[in-house]
Amino acid sequence: MSDAKCRCTCPGATVWVTGPSVADRRAAAYALAERLQAEQRRVEVLDRLNSHDTDPRRIGLMAEVLARNGIVAIVPCAEEGVPSVRDRHAASCTRYVEVCVAEREGPEESAVAAHKVLVGSS
């Protein structure tokens, strides 16, 4: 049985945070999460899943499922596997944003850039 009051109307998305430094990726991910939570958005940072033996496609699938259910899934992960994750999100019409911390002056600037993209595409 489904309750109409429980259906999420917030747009979810996956934000894939890349860059050479794990610390910068995580800092940007948590800075973005704080901004979105301050706006009462549902957010999940999937950083504990990023180890050498974890398949990025599996993380991408988890993020996609969360995003389809109205949660902004933020994944601070290396660039390997990004094309397959991007393709899967496109095939399911799930919002997907990539942010590279190497192209920014710091994690906070990366969070601001990702936030602008998410708010602009809501």
| DSSP letter string, 6-53 | G---SPPEEEEEE-S-HHHHHHHHHHHHHHHHHTT--EEE--TT-STT
Q: Which residues contact 28 (CB under 8 A, 6 or more apart)?
A: 17, 19, 76, 99, 101, 104, 107, 108, 110, 111, 114
pLDDT over 60 (residue 8) = no
- Predicted confidence at residue 3, as pLDDT, reads 41
pLDDT over 60 (residue 90) = yes
d(CA 24, CA 46): 15
Helices 56-68 and 82-91 meet at what angle, rounded to 10?
A: 30
pLDDT one-digit tens code per residue, 51-81 = 555 778 889 999 999 999 999 999 998 888 8
- Predicted confidence at residue 101, as pLDDT, reads 83
Q: Where are the beta strands (DSSP E) in 47-118?
A: 72-76, 96-100
Identify the sign of the CA torsion 19, 20, 21, 22.
Answer: positive
pTM summary value: 0.81
- Predicted confidence at residue 5, as pLDDT, reads 46
